[in-house]
Amino acid sequence: MAKILIAYYSRKGQNYVNGSIKNLAKGNTEIVAEFIQKAVGGELFEIDTVKNYPVDYTECTNVAKDELRQKARPELKKYLPNIDEYDEIFLGYPCWWGAPPMAVATFLEKYNFGGKKIIPFSTHEGSGLGGSIGFIKKIVPTAEVVNGLAIHGAEAKNSEAEVANWAKKNI
C-alpha cells in the first residue's frame, strides 16, 4: 500500500471571505488537508515560512505578489527528513495571484519527486486552481501531477464529503 503525505501551506488570521476580511482561527487549506487525512489516512506536514507574512490581509497579498514576481523562495521553518518513503503526495495551498505561495515552490525544489504522484488541492476565493498545475509541473517535471481540486475558501468547512470523495478517487 502506498504511503501518503499531505503537505500544505495554509493562512490563518485575516483572510478574504465572500467579499470581506474575516479572522480565521484555522486556515481553509488546513481544514481541507485534515479532511483528506480523515478520508485516506496519511501524514500531515505543514509548509511554513521562517519569516511570517504580514497579519494584515492586504499587506500579505502585496508581499505574495512581490514574491511571485521575483520568483522568491522563502526559507521554511522545517523540512521532511526524507521524501523517499512517500509514494503519493497531496499538495495543498491557497491560490494567490493564480499560483501557490512561493513557499510551496521552496518545498517542491527541496526534494526529488521523480516517480511520485502529486495530487494538488487549493482553496481560493474565485480563482479556482488558477495556473497552479502548470506551476507545479514546471518545478517537478519528473513527477506525475494529476488534476487537482479547488475548494472555495468560504466553503472549506462544509466540503468534507466532496473532499473525501475526491481524495479516495485519487489514491
Q: Is the pLDDT of residue 1 over 70?
A: no
Residue with cell 526534494: 111
Check which CATH number belongs to the domain holding 23 and give it. 3.40.50.360
Q: Is the pLDDT of residue 166 over 90?
A: yes
Q: Are 106 and 74 contacting, i.e. CB atoms less than 8 angstroms apart?
A: yes
Closest to 93 (Cα-Cα) out of 19, 32, 41, 42: 32
Residue 81 phi, psi dihedral angles, 5° rounding: -65, -30
pLDDT at 2: 74
Domain that holds residue 138: 4-169
User: Could you give the CA distance from residue 104 to residue 49 in angstroms, rounded to a whole number?
Assistant: 10
What are the tens digits of pLDDT across the range 103-160?
999 999 999 999 999 999 999 999 999 999 999 999 999 999 998 999 999 999 999 9
User: Could you give the CA distance from residue 15 to residue 29 in angstroms, rounded to a whole number?
Assistant: 12
Structural domain count, the chain: 1
What are the tens digits of pLDDT across the range 26-59?
999 999 999 999 999 999 999 999 999 999 999 9
For residue 159, give the 3-state DSSP assignment. coil
